[in-house]
Amino acid sequence: MDGRRGLCAGRVVVVTGAGRGLGRAHARAFAAEGARVVVNDLGVGLDGAPDADSPAVRVVAEIRAAGGEAVAHGGDVATNEGAASLVRTAVETYGGLDTLVGNAGFLRDRMLVNLAEDDWDAVIRVHLKGHFLPLKHAAGYWRAEAKAGRTPVARVVHTSSGAGLLGSVGQGNYSAAKAGILGLTLVAAAELGRYGVQVNAIAPVARTRMTEAVFAETMAVPEGPGSAFDAMAPENVSPVVVWLGSAACSGVSGRVFEVEGGRVTVMEGWRRGPGAERGGRWGVREVGETMLKLVARAEPPGAVYGA
């Protein structure tokens, strides 16, 4: 690993949830491109329960063994102090912060009628609050830098999901959290551009602990001649994240990219479709007849995962 001339040479990058899966792949990819990386992972199980080992420390060791620079952070980024200490770690260790990648999360899947309030709260907390609080503290740092005349070339990459874009049966809490991350991304892009910050999101499809049950039938690693490309490897997503986290993506903000295997797609989200204007208040029956006609002219919604 010699990132002295890499795309992110000299940049300081924070990756949350970077102990395994996608986060680990991102952290290693940033380091390979010359970034100094803060590897955050609370070290919990798939359901949020404490884990005895420290995956963040292991990833840091991997990066350093390859000649890169990294430091571990084990704080809970869904708490105000944990998120604040994450930004402090970057600034105090490496002298600044250039890129924030939000990736932390876990699952507690249930059908809606069986979904407990605690399971709703826990998933919303880790995914949505765990994206908001690091963003808030990073944005505060970047705003202060801009006001001091040191306008940053800052980047934020959030992690949503196809579940947030289309919904996913049995994942009402996860789908709501991931959809919320998309809304947060759009607002942040609009608010923070004046401070030199670009904010985008990805909707990745890859093999991780969180997706292995969902994609069990389609996630087999290819075998045999001509099968070197593993379409479900987390490492396939990281080039997109690294580019979005670099200075090279100037002018790209407020966008959502779906990334799967060797394919990347710009997702276009909610846009106004067919409409009708009456010039006054609708009657109930009249508006109903009009809405049926509008729905007939509109594009059908995408299929919900698992439906």
Catalytic residue among 94, 160, 168, 178: 178
- Determine the Cα–Cα distance for residues 166 and 179; give it in Å rounded to an integer: 9
Annotation marks residue 147 as catalytic: no
Annotation marks residue 305 as catalytic: no
Half-sphere exposure (CA, 13 Å, Cβ side) for 116?
4
Number of H helices, E strands in the chain: 9, 8
Which has the closest alpha carbon to 246: 98, 37, 97, 126?
98
Catalytic residue among 94, 141, 174, 305: 174
Catalytic residue among 85, 160, 161, 175: 161
Annotation marks residue 161 as catalytic: yes
Angle between helix 130-147 and helix 172-192 axes, rounded to 10 deg:
10
Contact status, residue 242 vs residue 33, Cβ threshold 8 Å? yes
- Determine the Cα–Cα distance for residues 53 and 258; give it in Å rounded to an integer: 32
Tokens found for residue 58: 């292991």
Tokens found for residue 300: 């059908």
3-state secondary structure at position 174: helix
Q: Which residue has the tokens 């808030």?
A: 136
CB count in 10 Å sphere of residue 131: 31
- Determine the Cα–Cα distance for residues 145 and 83; give it in Å rounded to an integer: 18
Active site residues: 161, 174, 178
